[in-house]
Amino acid sequence: MSFKRLEADDFVISSDSITAAMWVGNVPTLTYFFTSSTQFAGSSGNYYLNIYSSSAEQDIQFAIAYGNEYGSGSVLYNDAVTGSSYTRTIYGQYQNLVLGDENASFIFGNVTSSDFWAISLERNRYKEALFPGSLFLKLSGSLGVIQLTDDSNYTNTTVFNEAGRVFNLISASSAGTIATGVGGPNSGSNADGWSINSGSYGLFLPDIGTILLNPVALSGSLSAGGIGLNVSRSFDAPGNNNNRLFRAISGSSASTFTLNSQESVTSDFIFVRPKALS
Protein backbone atom coordinates (compact mmCIF):
# COMPACT_ATOMS: atom_id res chain seq x y z
CA MET A 1 0.00 0.00 0.00
CA SER A 2 1.32 3.45 -0.92
CA PHE A 3 0.40 6.87 0.42
CA LYS A 4 0.43 10.27 -1.20
CA ARG A 5 0.94 13.48 0.72
CA LEU A 6 -1.92 16.02 0.60
CA GLU A 7 -1.09 19.01 -1.56
CA ALA A 8 -2.04 22.68 -1.36
CA ASP A 9 -4.93 22.35 -3.80
CA ASP A 10 -6.51 19.72 -1.54
CA PHE A 11 -7.25 22.40 1.06
CA VAL A 12 -10.02 24.99 0.65
CA ILE A 13 -10.86 27.70 3.19
CA SER A 14 -14.29 29.34 2.97
CA SER A 15 -15.39 32.44 4.87
CA ASP A 16 -18.99 33.63 4.79
CA SER A 17 -20.58 36.67 6.41
CA ILE A 18 -23.98 35.87 7.90
CA THR A 19 -26.47 38.53 8.92
CA ALA A 20 -29.52 37.99 11.09
CA ALA A 21 -32.34 39.93 12.70
CA MET A 22 -31.23 41.62 15.89
CA TRP A 23 -34.18 41.50 18.24
CA VAL A 24 -35.93 38.81 20.23
CA GLY A 25 -38.30 36.73 18.14
CA ASN A 26 -35.94 37.09 15.17
CA VAL A 27 -37.50 40.37 14.09
CA PRO A 28 -35.40 43.12 12.44
CA THR A 29 -37.38 46.08 13.81
CA LEU A 30 -38.54 47.07 17.28
CA THR A 31 -41.63 49.25 17.49
CA TYR A 32 -42.60 48.83 21.16
CA PHE A 33 -40.40 49.82 24.08
CA PHE A 34 -40.82 49.32 27.82
CA THR A 35 -38.81 50.08 30.95
CA SER A 36 -38.88 48.53 34.39
CA SER A 37 -40.52 50.72 37.03
CA THR A 38 -38.54 48.80 39.66
CA GLN A 39 -35.23 49.61 38.04
CA PHE A 40 -36.25 53.19 37.32
CA ALA A 41 -36.88 53.75 41.02
CA GLY A 42 -33.84 51.76 42.15
CA SER A 43 -30.17 52.68 42.38
CA SER A 44 -29.18 51.16 39.02
CA GLY A 45 -31.63 53.49 37.28
CA ASN A 46 -29.27 56.35 38.08
CA TYR A 47 -26.69 54.72 35.80
CA TYR A 48 -28.73 53.13 33.04
CA LEU A 49 -32.17 51.93 31.98
CA ASN A 50 -32.82 48.51 30.50
CA ILE A 51 -35.26 48.54 27.59
CA TYR A 52 -37.62 45.64 26.90
CA SER A 53 -39.77 44.74 23.89
CA SER A 54 -42.83 43.89 25.99
CA SER A 55 -44.39 44.82 29.31
CA ALA A 56 -43.53 41.34 30.60
CA GLU A 57 -39.92 42.58 30.99
CA GLN A 58 -38.49 39.17 30.09
CA ASP A 59 -35.92 39.97 27.40
CA ILE A 60 -33.64 42.99 27.61
CA GLN A 61 -33.02 44.45 24.15
CA PHE A 62 -30.65 47.30 24.98
CA ALA A 63 -29.72 49.75 27.71
CA ILE A 64 -29.65 53.56 27.77
CA ALA A 65 -27.11 55.63 29.70
CA TYR A 66 -25.99 59.26 29.81
CA GLY A 67 -22.39 60.33 30.39
CA ASN A 68 -21.06 63.79 31.17
CA GLU A 69 -17.40 64.75 31.47
CA TYR A 70 -18.07 67.16 34.34
CA GLY A 71 -20.57 65.04 36.22
CA SER A 72 -23.52 67.28 35.36
CA GLY A 73 -27.01 65.91 34.90
CA SER A 74 -27.18 63.94 38.14
CA VAL A 75 -26.72 64.30 41.87
CA LEU A 76 -23.25 64.00 43.37
CA TYR A 77 -22.14 60.97 45.34
CA ASN A 78 -20.60 63.33 47.86
CA ASP A 79 -21.10 67.08 47.96
CA ALA A 80 -17.50 67.46 49.06
CA VAL A 81 -16.18 65.89 45.85
CA THR A 82 -16.81 68.10 42.81
CA GLY A 83 -17.99 66.27 39.70
CA SER A 84 -18.21 62.87 41.38
CA SER A 85 -21.55 61.64 40.09
CA TYR A 86 -23.35 58.87 38.18
CA THR A 87 -22.94 60.64 34.85
CA ARG A 88 -19.20 61.18 35.42
CA THR A 89 -18.81 57.46 36.14
CA ILE A 90 -20.62 56.54 32.92
CA TYR A 91 -18.49 58.99 30.97
CA GLY A 92 -15.28 57.46 32.34
CA GLN A 93 -16.41 53.91 31.61
CA TYR A 94 -17.10 54.63 27.96
CA GLN A 95 -13.97 56.76 27.74
CA ASN A 96 -11.91 53.68 28.63
CA LEU A 97 -14.03 51.29 26.55
CA VAL A 98 -14.20 53.35 23.37
CA LEU A 99 -11.13 55.59 23.47
CA GLY A 100 -8.79 53.62 25.71
CA ASP A 101 -7.52 56.86 27.22
CA GLU A 102 -8.95 58.67 30.24
CA ASN A 103 -7.67 61.97 28.86
CA ALA A 104 -9.13 61.61 25.36
CA SER A 105 -12.29 63.38 24.19
CA PHE A 106 -15.27 62.18 22.21
CA ILE A 107 -15.45 63.66 18.72
CA PHE A 108 -18.66 63.47 16.71
CA GLY A 109 -17.70 64.07 13.11
CA ASN A 110 -15.49 67.10 13.60
CA VAL A 111 -16.88 68.50 16.86
CA THR A 112 -15.63 67.63 20.34
CA SER A 113 -18.35 66.99 22.92
CA SER A 114 -18.37 66.75 26.71
CA ASP A 115 -21.41 64.47 26.93
CA PHE A 116 -23.30 61.73 25.12
CA TRP A 117 -26.14 59.27 25.31
CA ALA A 118 -25.09 55.63 25.01
CA ILE A 119 -27.22 52.82 23.63
CA SER A 120 -25.62 49.52 24.58
CA LEU A 121 -27.08 46.49 22.80
CA GLU A 122 -27.66 43.41 24.94
CA ARG A 123 -24.77 41.04 24.24
CA ASN A 124 -26.91 37.98 23.57
CA ARG A 125 -28.86 39.89 20.91
CA TYR A 126 -25.92 39.69 18.48
CA LYS A 127 -23.12 37.21 17.87
CA GLU A 128 -19.95 38.83 16.53
CA ALA A 129 -20.88 42.42 15.70
CA LEU A 130 -23.62 44.74 14.51
CA PHE A 131 -24.12 44.93 10.75
CA PRO A 132 -23.07 48.33 9.34
CA GLY A 133 -25.69 49.87 7.09
CA SER A 134 -28.62 48.14 8.79
CA LEU A 135 -29.24 50.77 11.48
CA PHE A 136 -32.40 52.85 11.23
CA LEU A 137 -33.44 54.72 14.37
CA LYS A 138 -36.22 57.28 14.77
CA LEU A 139 -35.98 59.87 17.55
CA SER A 140 -38.66 62.40 18.49
CA GLY A 141 -38.09 65.75 20.13
CA SER A 142 -40.11 68.85 20.86
CA LEU A 143 -39.53 70.10 17.30
CA GLY A 144 -40.17 66.91 15.35
CA VAL A 145 -38.68 63.56 14.39
CA ILE A 146 -35.30 62.67 12.93
CA GLN A 147 -34.19 59.40 11.34
CA LEU A 148 -30.63 58.18 11.79
CA THR A 149 -28.36 55.59 10.19
CA ASP A 150 -24.59 55.06 10.01
CA ASP A 151 -22.40 56.34 7.18
CA SER A 152 -20.71 53.02 6.35
CA ASN A 153 -22.07 53.20 2.79
CA TYR A 154 -20.58 56.66 2.27
CA THR A 155 -17.04 56.37 3.58
CA ASN A 156 -14.06 55.13 1.59
CA THR A 157 -11.82 54.63 4.61
CA THR A 158 -12.92 52.84 7.76
CA VAL A 159 -11.70 54.45 10.97
CA PHE A 160 -10.62 52.26 13.90
CA ASN A 161 -10.10 53.04 17.56
CA GLU A 162 -9.90 51.07 20.80
CA ALA A 163 -13.45 49.77 20.21
CA GLY A 164 -12.83 48.63 16.63
CA ARG A 165 -14.60 50.13 13.63
CA VAL A 166 -16.09 53.61 14.00
CA PHE A 167 -18.80 55.14 11.80
CA ASN A 168 -20.65 58.43 12.17
CA LEU A 169 -24.42 58.71 12.52
CA ILE A 170 -26.13 60.71 9.79
CA SER A 171 -29.62 61.93 8.95
CA ALA A 172 -31.30 59.15 6.97
CA SER A 173 -34.20 58.41 4.67
CA SER A 174 -33.82 54.66 5.25
CA ALA A 175 -31.30 52.20 6.66
CA GLY A 176 -27.90 52.90 5.11
CA THR A 177 -29.22 55.79 3.00
CA ILE A 178 -28.49 59.46 3.63
CA ALA A 179 -31.47 61.83 3.75
CA THR A 180 -32.12 63.97 0.69
CA GLY A 181 -34.52 66.76 -0.13
CA VAL A 182 -35.88 69.46 2.13
CA GLY A 183 -38.36 69.70 4.94
CA GLY A 184 -38.24 68.72 8.61
CA PRO A 185 -34.97 68.30 10.45
CA ASN A 186 -33.28 66.87 7.35
CA SER A 187 -33.15 70.38 5.84
CA GLY A 188 -30.72 71.33 8.61
CA SER A 189 -28.21 68.63 7.72
CA ASN A 190 -25.16 69.25 5.55
CA ALA A 191 -23.95 67.22 2.57
CA ASP A 192 -22.36 64.66 4.92
CA GLY A 193 -25.67 64.09 6.70
CA TRP A 194 -24.33 65.80 9.84
CA SER A 195 -25.99 68.59 11.76
CA ILE A 196 -24.93 72.10 10.86
CA ASN A 197 -22.23 73.38 13.28
CA SER A 198 -22.59 70.52 15.81
CA GLY A 199 -20.96 67.63 13.95
CA SER A 200 -22.43 64.20 13.34
CA TYR A 201 -25.40 62.86 15.28
CA GLY A 202 -23.23 60.31 17.04
CA LEU A 203 -21.02 57.26 16.58
CA PHE A 204 -21.85 53.71 15.52
CA LEU A 205 -19.47 51.15 17.07
CA PRO A 206 -20.48 47.78 15.59
CA ASP A 207 -17.70 45.69 17.12
CA ILE A 208 -18.75 46.43 20.71
CA GLY A 209 -22.49 46.72 20.07
CA THR A 210 -22.71 50.38 21.03
CA ILE A 211 -24.28 53.56 19.66
CA LEU A 212 -23.29 56.97 21.03
CA LEU A 213 -25.63 59.91 20.38
CA ASN A 214 -24.55 63.55 20.27
CA PRO A 215 -26.91 65.63 22.49
CA VAL A 216 -25.64 68.94 21.12
CA ALA A 217 -26.65 68.03 17.57
CA LEU A 218 -30.01 66.57 18.57
CA SER A 219 -30.99 69.49 20.81
CA GLY A 220 -30.49 72.09 18.09
CA SER A 221 -33.13 73.94 16.10
CA LEU A 222 -34.65 72.56 12.91
CA SER A 223 -32.52 74.91 10.80
CA ALA A 224 -29.41 73.54 12.53
CA GLY A 225 -30.46 69.92 12.00
CA GLY A 226 -31.80 69.27 15.49
CA ILE A 227 -35.17 68.23 16.87
CA GLY A 228 -35.16 70.03 20.23
CA LEU A 229 -34.18 66.86 22.10
CA ASN A 230 -32.79 68.67 25.10
CA VAL A 231 -30.54 67.23 27.76
CA SER A 232 -30.35 68.41 31.37
CA ARG A 233 -26.87 69.50 32.42
CA SER A 234 -27.95 70.67 35.86
CA PHE A 235 -25.32 70.40 38.58
CA ASP A 236 -25.99 68.16 41.60
CA ALA A 237 -29.61 67.58 40.57
CA PRO A 238 -31.43 64.71 38.86
CA GLY A 239 -31.40 65.26 35.11
CA ASN A 240 -33.44 62.16 34.18
CA ASN A 241 -31.52 62.07 30.91
CA ASN A 242 -31.81 58.31 30.55
CA ASN A 243 -35.58 58.67 30.56
CA ARG A 244 -35.40 61.62 28.14
CA LEU A 245 -33.79 59.40 25.53
CA PHE A 246 -36.21 56.58 26.24
CA ARG A 247 -39.12 58.94 25.53
CA ALA A 248 -37.38 60.11 22.34
CA ILE A 249 -37.09 56.51 21.11
CA SER A 250 -40.55 55.36 22.16
CA GLY A 251 -42.47 58.63 21.82
CA SER A 252 -42.86 58.79 18.05
CA SER A 253 -46.16 57.65 16.54
CA ALA A 254 -44.04 55.43 14.27
CA SER A 255 -41.32 54.35 16.72
CA THR A 256 -38.69 52.39 14.83
CA PHE A 257 -35.38 50.80 15.78
CA THR A 258 -34.04 48.54 13.01
CA LEU A 259 -30.72 46.73 13.34
CA ASN A 260 -29.13 43.46 12.21
CA SER A 261 -26.29 41.39 13.61
CA GLN A 262 -23.33 40.04 11.65
CA GLU A 263 -21.16 36.95 12.04
CA SER A 264 -18.24 35.60 10.02
CA VAL A 265 -18.28 31.81 9.69
CA THR A 266 -15.05 30.17 8.50
CA SER A 267 -14.92 26.59 7.23
CA ASP A 268 -11.90 24.43 6.31
CA PHE A 269 -12.40 21.72 3.68
CA ILE A 270 -9.93 18.92 2.92
CA PHE A 271 -10.49 16.94 -0.25
CA VAL A 272 -9.22 13.37 -0.16
CA ARG A 273 -9.55 11.62 -3.50
CA PRO A 274 -7.91 8.69 -5.30
CA LYS A 275 -5.52 9.77 -8.00
CA ALA A 276 -4.13 7.86 -10.96
CA LEU A 277 -0.74 6.33 -10.34
CA SER A 278 2.02 8.01 -12.32
For residue 170, the enclosing domain spans 8-270
Q: What's the total number of domains in the chain?
A: 1
More confident residue, 124 or 153: 153
In a domain, 275, yes or no: no
How would residue 126 be classed by pLDDT, with cut points 50, 70 and 90?
A: confident
In a domain, 278, yes or no: no
What's the length of the chain? 278
Query: What is the mean pLDDT of the segment spanning 122-144?
Result: 92
In a domain, 99, yes or no: yes
Q: What is the pLDDT, as a whole number, of residue 100?
A: 93
How would residue 247 be classed by pLDDT, with cut points 50, 70 and 90?
A: very high
In a domain, 258, yes or no: yes
In a domain, 2, yes or no: no
Query: What is the mean pLDDT of the segment spanning 35-59?
Result: 88
Three state DSSP letters for the chain: CCCCCCCHHHEEEEEEEEEEECECCCECEECCCECCHHHHHCHHHHCEEEEECCCCCCCEEEEEEEEECCCCCECECCCCCCCCEHHHHHHHHHHHHHHCCCCCCEEECCEEECEEEEEEECHHHCCCEECCCCCEEEEEECCEEEEEEECCCCCCCCEEECCEEEEEEEEEEECCEECCCCCHHHHHECCCCCECCCECCEEEEHHHCEEEECHHHHCCCHHHCCCCCCCCCCECCCCCHHHHHHHHHHCCCCCCEECEEEEEEEEEEECCCCCCCC
More confident residue, 4 or 219: 219
In a domain, 230, yes or no: yes
Q: For residue 257, is pLDDT > 60?
A: yes
Q: What is the pLDDT, as a whole number, of residue 184?
A: 42
Q: How far apart are CA 187 and CA 225, in angstroms?
A: 7
In a domain, 149, yes or no: yes
More confident residue, 186 or 78: 78
Q: Is pTM, for the whole model, over 0.85? A: yes
Q: For residue 39, is pLDDT > 70?
A: yes
Q: For residue 278, is pLDDT > 80?
A: no
In a domain, 213, yes or no: yes
